[in-house]
Amino acid sequence: MAQAKAKLSPKPEVYKNYIAGRWVRPAGGEMMDNLNPADTRELVGRFPASTGEDVDAAVNAAREALPQWKKTPAPRRAEILYRLGQILIERKEQYAVEMTREMGKVLKEARGDVQEAIDMTFYTAGEGRRLHGYTTPSELPDKFAMCVRQPIGVCALVTPWNFPMAIPSWKMMPALVCGNTVVIKPAEDTPLSTLNLVQACIDAGVPAGVVNVVMGTGEAAGAALSSHKNVNLISFTGSTDTGRLVAETAARTGKNCSLEMGGKNVILIMEDADLDLAVEGAVWGAFGTSGQRCTASSRLVVHKRVYKKFVDKLTERTRALRIGNGLDKKVEVGPVINEDAVNKIMGYIEIGRQVDGATLHLGGHRLERGEYKHGWYIEPTIFTDVAPRMRIAQEEIFGPVVSVIPCRDLDDAVQIGNGVQYGLSSAIYTADVNRAFRAMEQMHTGIFYVNSSTIGAEVHLPFGGTKATGNGHREGAMASSLDIFSEWKAVYVDYSGKLQKAQIDTAT
């Protein structure tokens, strides 16, 4: 990542990996600077640039801790999670402020990120007494048949920077309640928030070796963790390109693999929609978290009858957004994560203008003067007169850029909405319940909203998508996440006192 020169404090905070119950320096001694994206003169801290040697130590620690943690009754594991949830409540404001400093999202969104980790922790803890299998009648007399869940083993968790506490909690909590041990590799841009979550685990009483964290780049620490021979499962959230590499590695090494990847999400806005409500949803979906969400509303498909009116309202609302440091309570849009992100997003804005030929209706500039001089800021950007096959309407930009696409009717809108490689989230604004249900049925996405934006998932419903968004798994919702982090064992108890040969003895 390209980095601006930091305004170093005399003694910047230096952090360590957490392995086998101890905070340890990286074996190679290399460190990474974590800069505040709102003001890159501020050094949030220095974090380990771990290598395969550190990963090996963490995986070995998790493997050694596995038998005892697996033997711990699930209700006892859950009690630790309840304590963890309470600790997160007590530290919510502290952790939110630190998240805004390292990630840039506005403080109210950072509070929401921590709150989601709280929700996931308490929700998952309840499953400590509900890790249900089932019994079923045997096809033979004097024989009992049932199935139970059991842990998978050592789980590698590779998490992104945009939700640096919520997404780790989606993976860590169900993994722990199922009896697995974990090694987590946070994104190099936001390691502090994950360390805060791990510190809360320690203080809640999670035993040494059950949770381990190694920080570093994807190329070094992430690749070593994904390919480690003693890792049984890898859960990855990030880009589609990287996710495919993770899947290939998992296939070669026989690991379970759960992927949550990209999105190119759409809001369908019909001619009977409440346009003021739709505009609020579009602005929140497109520019919340500076557009850096896999569920961001990056495409707005608008009925031609209300297209101009909608664009006018959208423009007025977007122009009024306050951009700046997320710690300022008046700010609605913070910076993007780093210089590489700035370059990628600005590159797509040029593609939209010069290659696609769309109309750059609003924004489109990097902000570099005054209060923005030392941060990574991009104006909220609206493209109009966008055709469905344009690159800006097909490819994930992951920034504050939205494409407004006209449509003829609901069928046309659905066809446009489904016409991308991703299938994460979609939404419709309409007053017609029949239309809403038709769209709900026909949109090929894992998440669907009616009269709401494409963002705002809740932990007790499955999160994930279709097509290039993932590999069929879901996070959140116990029926989904427990299936990722546990595996089935079928059990037969024959009390007949003789050998019964199942289908042979029951053959007619």
Catalytically active residues, by annotation: 260, 294
Using alpha carbons only, how large is the chain's radius of gyration in Å?
24
Strands (E) across 419-474 are located at 422-423, 425-429, 447-450, 466-467
Q: How far apart are CA 108 and CA 100, in angstroms?
A: 9
Identify the residue whose tokens are 């800069």. Answer: 35
Q: How many residues does the chain have?
A: 508
Q: How far apart are CA 20 and CA 18, in angstroms?
A: 7
Identify the residue whose tokens are 């048949």. Answer: 145
Torsion region of 370: left, alpha or beta (phi above 0 gives left; psi -120 to 50 gives alpha): left
- The H-or-E segment that residue 288 falls in is none
Reading the block at residue 459, the tokens are 């932990």
Tell me if 17 sits within 8 A of 48, measured CB to CB: yes
Count of other CB atoms within 10 angstroms of residue 331? 18
Q: How far apart are CA 443 and CA 440, in angstroms?
A: 6
407: β partners? 303
Identify the residue whose tokens are 């290039």. Answer: 468
Q: Nearest to residue 380, comparing CAs of 292, 248, 481, 479?
A: 292
HSE-CB at 215 with a 13 A cutoff on CA atoms is: 32
Q: How far apart are CA 393 and CA 388, in angstroms?
A: 6
Number of helices (H), then strands (E), belonging to the chain: the values are 15, 23
Q: How far apart are CA 469 and CA 453, in angstroms?
A: 18
Q: At what angle do helices 410-418 and 433-442 cross, to 10 degrees?
A: 30
Tell me if 109 sits within 8 A of 288, measured CB to CB: yes
Pairing mode of beta strands 22-24, 17-19: antiparallel
Strands (E) across 60-166 are located at 134-137, 143-151, 154-158
Amino acid at 292: Q
